[in-house]
Amino acid sequence: MDVAQGFEGLVDEVQKSFGEDIVALRRDIHREPELGFDTKKTAEKILAALEGLPLEIETGVAENGIVATLKGGGEGPTIALRADMDALPIHEETGLPFASGTDGKMHACGHDGHTSMLVGAAKTLSQGPLRERLNGTVKFVFQPAEEGGGGGRVMVEEGVAEGIDQIFALHLWPGLAFGTAATKAGPIMAAADKFEMEIKGTGGHGAMPHLSADAVVIAAHVATALQTIVSREVDPVQPAVLTIGEIGAGTAFNIIPETARMGGTVRTIDDDLRHRLPERMEELAKGVARAMRADAELDYTFSYPVTRNDPESAALALKVAGSLFGEDRAVELAHPSMGGEDFAFFLQKLPGAYIWLGVGDVSGLHTPQFAFDEDILPQGAALLTAIALEALSD
Ligand SMILES: [Zn+2]
Ligand SMILES: [Zn+2]
């Protein structure tokens, strides 16, 4: 590896030295997707790929996570680079030769790519001349259970954030121009909370509605009324989303069901608003249900907090991306996404930045057709590498 100064030629060097390894690892992980904390085989693949590198390796972190530590040539702070490892309960429809071999599981959020890019960065930074340039320590954090399990929270509870001065993570991003890095100071991803609601009516014969309190009709009214919270009660310049993604009731066409159930998610950026919404949802649902001779019960869970970038870390990432990819491929975002991300738990403890890496106009994250051009992988590995070099350059 011949990258003496700056980042010139770094993408090409990563591509030439490790491009094939990175793609092979990504395909290997893609073929065998694992959910939540249950990422044992993925962890084994990562460990095999890291073998022979001058790393101190800790396994079994947050069940099947890994923290690999690389000491640089000089003394200095410790930074961390984090990748998520888990897949989704989606049936893959990409038709790729290395498509998921497990029905109903798929890497549809690109975490296979994140993991292989981070391994690529570990391989690159372990090379003598680059390692010498690191004044400090790099921790490569492989985290399970991003998709709802809160693996990031568990890692923080287990002390992974301790002794780290700054942390970065990448996410592949459909809809952003291919090979473009984007981030911003402050909030970049929303708080992502979830709820379940039960409408408790009175069941009965489908022909005798006057003898029941129809949970289906009441649920329909409640679902509609809940939409007025965001549209009529939240300041229009304040971002908020209330989505009911599940609704269900009944067992047969001629029975009025006693109960109906719905499940949904609430996304906010403002913390006060975040904590105010559940109470209003409950009041409104109970009010509507009681007006119709039924009751409503809300079960609300605060899941992932806002992913809030440190302004200096975000600026560092943009500066590095600009010099690595070109200024036109380093974009400062105007707005956050209302998606959620458990990297938020690290950023509650540490300064750092979450960065989107564009994969162009492809099928969206969490869709059965999600696929991306693998040329992005060495670019992402180079970006992580360059961020570490820059953060530990003094
Ligand atoms: Zn996802
Ligand atoms: Zn994801």
Write out the residue range of the structural domain in which residue 324 sits: 10-188+306-391
Domain annotation covers residue 5: no
Does 173 share its domain with 241? no
pLDDT value of residue 1:
54
Q: Are 178 and 222 in contact (CB under 8 A)?
A: no
Distance from residue 168's CA to the centre of ligand 2 (Å) = 15
Confidence of residue 3 (pLDDT cuts 50, 70, 90): low
Ion ligand 1: residue ranges with CB closer than 5 A: 109
Asked which of 247, 277, 304 is the last residue of a domain, the reply is 304
| Helix 311-325 and helix 376-391, axial crossing angle in degrees, nearest 10 | 130
The reply to whether 300 and 352 lie within a common domain is: no
Is there a domain that residue 105 lies in?
A: yes
116 in Cβ contact with 26 (< 8 Å):
yes
Please state, in angstroms and rounded to a whole number, the distance separating the CA atoms of residues 237 and 33.
Answer: 40
CA of residue 55 to ligand 1 center, whole Å: 29
Are residues 324 and 294 both part of a single domain? no
Provide the residue type at 377 as one letter: L
Q: Indicate if 225 and 311 belong to the same structural domain.
A: no
Buried b (16+ CB within 10 A) or exposed e, 165-187: bbbbbbbbbbebebbbbbbbbeb
Cα distances (Å, whole numbers) of residue 30 to 24, 51, 116, 245, 361: 10, 20, 10, 27, 21
Same domain? 287 vs 350: no
| Same domain for 199 and 171 | no
Residue 162 lies in a domain: yes
Question: Residue 197 and residue 118: Cα distance in Å, rounded?
Answer: 40
Task: Point out which residues pair with 86 in neighbouring strands.
Answer: none
**165 and 282 housed in the same domain:** no
Task: Quote the ligand 2 centre to 341 CA distance (angstroms).
Answer: 7
Question: Residue 2: what pLDDT?
Answer: 52
Show the DSSP H helices in the chain as ranges: 10-31, 40-50, 111-125, 128-133, 151-157, 215-228, 271-291, 311-325, 344-349, 376-391
CATH number at residue 159: 3.40.630.10
- The Å distance, Cα 14 to ligand 2 centre, comes to 24
Residue 1 lies in a domain: no
Read off the pLDDT of each residue in 161-172 and give the average, rounded to a whole number.
98
pLDDT at residue 5 above 70?
no
Say yes or no: 333 and 363 in one domain.
yes
Which ligand has an atom closest to residue 90 CA? 1
pLDDT in the model for residue 366: 97
Residue 216, pLDDT above cutoff 60 = yes
Is there a single domain that holds both residue 206 and residue 300?
yes
Cα three-residue angle 223-225-228, rounded to 5 degrees: 120
- Residue 3 forms part of a structural domain: no
Q: What is the mean pLDDT of residues 77-82?
A: 98
Q: How many independent structural domains does the chain possess?
A: 2
CB under 5 Å of ion ligand 2: residues? 109
pLDDT(363) > 80: yes
Out of 243, 269, 304, a domain closes at 304
Mean per-residue pLDDT, 139-160: 97
The confidence score (pLDDT) of residue 36 equals 98
Written as one letter, the residue type at 280 is R
SS3 content of the chain, % helix, strand, coil (to 5): 35, 30, 35
Q: Are residues 124 and 215 in the same domain?
A: no
- Final residue of a domain: which of 250, 269, 304? 304
Question: Do 201 and 78 sit in the same domain of this protein?
Answer: no
Q: Reply yes or no on whether the pLDDT at 19 is more than 70.
A: yes
pLDDT at 394: 85
The structure's pTM equals 0.95
> Is 4 part of any domain?
no
The CATH number for 287's domain is 3.30.70.360
Quickly state the pLDDT bin for 191 (edges 50, 70, 90): very high
Given a cut of 90, whether residue 8 has pLDDT beyond it is: no
pLDDT averaged over every residue in the chain: 97
Which ligand ends up closest to the CA of 192? 1
**Ligand 2 centroid, distance to 366 Cα (angstroms):** 8
CA 108 to centroid of ligand 2, rounded, Å: 8
Q: How far is the CA of 218 from the centre of ligand 1 (A)?
A: 32
Q: Could you tell me the two tokens for 324?
A: 């690595």
CA of 366 from ligand 1 middle (Å) equals 6
In a domain, 107, yes or no: yes
253 shares its domain with 311: no
Ligand closest in space to the Cα of 173 = 2
Mean pLDDT of 198-224: 98
